């Protein structure tokens, strides 16, 4: 399988005319990313009214990132459907088909957060697998970003949260800069709803910054435990 090429599309068009902008957008819509975005949106529209049609659209998406998200949305909208867990596993398979560890971990948070609520045992297997995948990421900030996705998805389930916590905390200790502090703030804010002690510990391990100011203030009013 050829690695999927990710293209970042800017919304600030450096063009001189409406025609050029339209041509650019038309070209983007025919790219794997563009088709994936459209397919994901169409899947979400259909998920609550026609599951079969939604599945057909989702499975037709070539780009694994958007296929994963589309399949996850069907399961999330139809949690009582007997095939919902199967769709989540299918979504995870799409995520795992990618070659970049950060991409795998990041998009896996879509099905994982639904799976955690549905079947913690199956979710646990995937948390362990994802922690193994993201450990192969050589770039510190990208590794932290992938771990962020895993921790947030696992947060509602105490055992899974505990498994993901230490790798995230250790990775955070090796990163610095404003992007790192934004990640820290997001994770601390989520953890505050499930484990105030860990949220406080995370923030106490970092120097105060404007990125974590509001979460620090919120936690200062919360008892530990």
**pLDDT tens for each residue of 79-114:** 999 999 999 999 999 999 999 999 999 999 999 999
pLDDT at 75: 97
Q: How far is CA 71 from the centre of its chain?
A: 14
In the chain, where are the structural domains located?
18-87
Average pLDDT value for the chain: 91
Q: Which among 88, 96, 36 is positioned nearest to 67, based on CA atoms?
A: 36
pLDDT at 4: 55
pLDDT at 42: 95
pLDDT band at 6, cuts 50/70/90? low
> Which residues does 59 contact at the CB level (< 8 Å), separation at least 6?
67, 71
How much is the average pLDDT of 219-224?
75
Between CA 148 and CA 146 the distance in angstroms is: 5
Between CA 158 and CA 10 the distance in angstroms is: 39
Q: Which among 98, 21, 87 is positioned nearest to 55, based on CA atoms?
A: 87
pLDDT tens readout for residues 169-216: 999 999 999 999 999 999 999 999 999 999 999 999 999 999 999 999
pLDDT at 1: 47
């Amino acid at each position: 399988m050829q690695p999927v090429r990710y293209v970042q599309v800017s919304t600030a068009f450096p063009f001189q005319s409406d025609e050029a902008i339209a041509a650019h957008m038309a070209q983007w819509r025919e790219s794997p990313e563009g088709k994936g975005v459209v397919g994901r949106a169409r899947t979400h529209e259909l998920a609550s009214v026609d599951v079969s049609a939604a599945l057909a659209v989702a499975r037709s998406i070539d780009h694994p990132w958007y296929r994963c998200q589309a399949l996850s949305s069907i399961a999330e909208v139809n949690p009582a459907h007997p095939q919902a867990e199967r769709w989540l596993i299918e979504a995870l398979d799409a995520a795992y088909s990618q070659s970049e560890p950060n991409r795998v971990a990041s998009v896996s948070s879509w099905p994982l957060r639904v799976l955690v609520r549905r079947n913690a045992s199956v979710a646990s297997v995937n948390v362990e697998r994802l922690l193994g995948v993201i450990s192969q990421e050589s770039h510190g900030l990208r590794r932290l970003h992938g771990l962020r996705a895993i921790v947030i998805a696992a947060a509602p389930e105490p055992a899974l949260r505990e498994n993901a916590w230490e790798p995230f905390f250790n990775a955070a200790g090796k990163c610095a800069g404003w992007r790192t502090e934004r990640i820290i703030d997001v994770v601390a804010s989520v953890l505050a709803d499930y484990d105030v002690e860990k949220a406080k510990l995370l923030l106490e391990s970092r120097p105060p910054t404007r990125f974590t100011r509001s979460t620090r203030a919120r936690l200062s009013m919360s008892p530990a435990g």
